Every structure is written in C-alpha cells, then in structure tokens.
Amino acid sequence: MLLERDFTLCSQSTHYWFKQYEPRSPRSIYLVLTLIPILGLVFGQGAFSLSFGHILKGYATYYATLLLSVVLYRISPFHPLADRPGPFICKITKFWGAYIAFKGDTHRYYQQLHQRYGPIVRVGPNELSIVEKDAIAPVLGNQGMPRGPIWDGRRFGLLENQNWDSLIDCRNQEEHNKLRKPWNQAFSGGPIKDYQPILEERGQQLVNFLNDACVDGHGTLDIAKWISCFAFDFMGDLAFGGSFNLMRDGDIDGIWQMMEEGVILPNIVGQIPWAWVMIKPLPVIAAKRNDFTSWARTQAQLRLEMDTRKKDLFFHLYEAPARASGVPLESQMDLVVANSLLTIIAGSDTTSTTASAIICCLLGCREKFARLRAELDEAFPLTEADDGPPRIEMDILGRLPYLTGVVNEGLRLAPAVPSNIQRSPEDGSGGRLLIGTGIFIPEGTAVNIPAYSIQRDPRYFSPSPESFIPERWLPDPEGRFTTNKEAFIPFSHGPSNCAGKPMAMIELRFIIAMLVHRFDMCYKGFESASPEVLLKRQQAWFDGLKDRFVFSKDPLEVEVKPRWRAKPAA
C-alpha cells in the first residue's frame, strides 16, 4: 500500500504541474514522465531494494493514477468548463478531435454539435466552440485575444529559436502586429493595382487553355483542377515572380501534391499541439517537411536573383522594405521562406476551393447561372469580332451586385478556413469576459468560432441556410431574407484577419466572371437533368469537401463549350 500511496501522490503532483503550465518542450515532458516515477520508487521502496517487478509495478501505478486523475478532473464539477455542454469524449481528450480532423470532418462535426447542444459547446477538455455573433468582436476583434494553442501544432519549424515561423502562427499579439504591418502595406491600394495585370494575364491563359481543351467546339474536364492550377500559378507569380506553370505543364514536379499532403498532418496535430515537438523529429515527417521548405527556399532564391521589373508581392513584402532598412534580404531568408509558403497555401487552396464551390452551385441552379450571365453580358457586351471577346475590366466587376452576391454566397457556404479560427486569453490574464455576451473564458481555455457553422446558422441566415441563394445579399425591401453580415467571417475578423482579403475578392470576382462570361457549362452527363437532380449533384460535391484546415475537394467534371472562337494558348 505504501508504494501505491507514493505513486498516487506523484501522479497528483504531475497532474498539478500539467494544469499550471502548458508543456511545449519535449525535454520537460520526458523528464517529468520519466523521473517522477523514479523518485516515487526511491522514496517509497528504497534505492537498494528495487527489483524489475517493483519498477514495472511503480510505473504502471503512476501512469494509471495520472490518467485517472486527469479524466476525473475533466468531467468533475471543479473543472472551469464544467457547466458547458458537449460530448463526453470531448471533455476527456482532444485525441477525439484529432481523429475527426484525420477524417477531414471537423467542419461538419462542429455544426452537428451546435445543432445538438446550442451556441456554446465544449469541444475539448479546455476548448469551446462558439457560434454567437456578439462573441466575434470580443474574441477576434481589435480588443480580442491572441491566437490559441492550435497554431503551435501548425509550424514548419524553420525558426527554431522562437515560437513562430510566420505571420499566421505567431501567438504573441505584439509581435504579430509588427509582422502584420508589411502585409497590410503589400495588400494596400497601390500594390493591389500592381497585381491586377498579373491576374489578368493568368486569367486569359486559363481561358485559352480551356478553349484548346475543347475538341470540335466542346470538351469535358475537371474544372476544379483547372481553377486550382490557375490559382497556384497566380500565387507563384506573386510570391516568386512566376515559375510554376501548372496550367501549361501540369504538376510535373509534384508541387501541388506536396502542398496538399503538407497541410494534413499539421491540421491533425493542431488538435494536440503538445505532440508536435515529439512528432516533427521523426525521419519520415522531417523528410517531407524538409522537402517542402527546401523547395520554397529554392524558389525564393531564384526570385531574389531575378532581374524583374514586376512589382509583385515579393517586391512589396521583402525587397522594398529591405532596401528602405538597409538590411540584406539574404539575412531574412528563413522568414521569407515561411511567409512564401503561407502565401502559396493560404492564397491558392482557399480561393480555388471557393471558386470551385461557386461554379458547382451555379451549375446546380441554372436560373442563377443565367442571371449572372445576363449581368455580365450587359456589363461586357458580346461582339462578332474575330480578335476575341471584350476585356473583363476589374473595376467594373466590383460594381456588379449579383456577381458580388454570388461570391459572398460562395464564401458563406465554403469559407476558406471552415472550422479553426481559434483564440485564447493571454497567459497571466486570469481569463477574459466577452463584453456584450456574458460569456467568461477562463485562462488556459481555447475559443473557436467556426465560420462554416456560424455562417449556416438559421438565426443569422434564413430561410434555407444550407442553400445557395445569392439574392440574400441584394437589397431586400420585402424582407424575404435574414442576412446578418455581422456573422459573416469567411476571412476571419479583426487585426488577425486574412491580409490578402482585398486580392482574394478581386481574384474570385474575376475568375467567376471569366468562366461564366466565356463558356457554357454543365455537370458532366447532366445536361438534361431536372432541377432536383442538379441539386443532388451539387450536394454530393459539397459532401466530398474535407476540412484540412483549408478545404480539400473532389474533382468537378463538367462539359464546357466556348461561346466564341479564341486565340490559341501561349
């Protein structure tokens, strides 16, 4: 009994340590879980009377009582989140959340939990998911909270001497604000104008390639893949001066596949971020991570050596500030590489999925496709000229109400980051009261506001919050729709929102306008299908979306017919 008592005390001490401190160092975790049982053996049994059986029994007792202590505390009325409803398994462990993330179902799972338990759900031992619009500003706004622990599990590990790699995973708010300044400047009005010719060139290239893919005036292709290649090429132009050419050559170097696979593990480990420090040194994991970062480093170095006059994102984000400060850009290459990876992943996967979702929805509802086509034809009238269709002017696109409604509705149904916009009270703050809500967030509690769930909440978007209805974003004098823009957060909210939002909106409007204006399209094999069958096909594609922090998507096979002859692809 003496041995069991000593190990119970040891396990309780360890549990207390884990509650008081957020373990991030694998060394400290290993030492605590290894040395404390030894101390219990020495003091409980005596250093010279230990046998293998005593050691085995001691460690088994220690780990069993530690596990029991943790579980009992997490489901007890003494836990700070004891009064918050949620599944029993979520209260016990975040390994369940990691399993859901592994399946790619976090967005749907959170929505189902909110439908069952209400607007505030305990989704982890120390994590809440909230779908109250009044909580958005105090959680994400100017006076909100810094990023939560999920971001510790999503690092590339390039900057080993600090707790962040790039803007997106910096949890210190003061440091984040410093890192954010050049991004705000790089996506301000002047630079945005510099990027538009690059976007226009890539858009025309996409149209030309789609025309070439149409044999005898029509063709069948995966439009989601083509949109992804377009977005990836455009982001490559911005981040590295242009070097990918996936539309022209395909993914011959496996870059796209590398990126798609590269977000899966961080999305899972983000649910158990303390595990990242133990997983990342594993040879297989380290090799894949090194391949990805080495590729980005090579691209950054090539861009640095280019004699280019294009004022791309690389110029505005790195070259111009380096010239102004006199600090050699080569000395900041780790940060450049991390930010470039952020640009490629956040800028291509996100817009390509939303654009694909919009096309899917328009094909699922012919009258909405026709209404958007009519608006575009009025803005850019058709001609019989052999030198090509009228130029799509981006300044005009921003003034087209139905196009804006279509894009907003796509962002509502398929937000870039569907489920993990996580924040947490500052260390040492004691917690945070969310002003205007009466909700108190204890220190050490992560708070998640899932865009996918809140943007489909019938309190804020009705009727038919699951349906694609661009009209809900238009003037509504008859009061047919509830459209609460305060609950619309596809780019997050506040000072840590998506820095590239202005460019993303321009890109989405442009690519949708180009495709709808230049091509007739329908689902492959569904040309004569009824509206009910088309909606089922649309829903089947949405059911295939996987939450990998950003969405991954299935192919979207469509039949395409150019509206007029185009020049051969370059």
Token look-up 């040194």 returns 281
User: Are 509 and 407 a contacting pair, CB within 8 Å?
Assistant: yes
d(CA 524, CA 214) in angstroms, rounded, equals 14
Secondary structure element (H or E) that encloses residue 130, with its range: strand 127-130
Burial class (CB in 10 A: 0-12, 13-18, 19+), 495: middle
Are the beta carbons of 353 and 414 closer than 8 angstroms? yes
Is 170 annotated in a binding site? The answer is: no
Nearest C-alpha neighbor of 149 from the set 447, 439, 417: 447
What single-letter amino acid sits at 448? N
Contact between 277 and 24 (Cβ < 8 Å): yes
Q: Name, in order, each residue with C-beta under 8 angstroms of 181's C-beta and a sequence gap of 6 or more.
A: none
User: Cα separation of 496 and 180, whole Å?
Assistant: 8
Please give the backbone phi and psi of residue 401, each rounded to the nearest 5 degrees, phi first: -65, -40
Instruction: Specify burial of residue 528 (Cβ count, 10 A radius: 0-12, 13-18, 19+).
Output: exposed
Q: What is the largest CA-CA distance in the chain?
A: 98
Cβ neighbours of residue 117 closer than 8 Å, sequence gap 6 or more: 85, 86
Q: Which residues, other chains included, contact 62 with Cβ-Cβ below 8 Å and sequence gap of 6+?
A: 7, 10, 11, 36, 37, 40
Helix (H, G, I), strand (E, B) or coil at 489: coil
d(CA 452, CA 402): 22
Of 353, 368, 486, the closest CA to residue 413 belongs to: 353
Question: From the annotation, which residues make up the binding site?
Answer: 498
* Bind-site residues for heme: 498
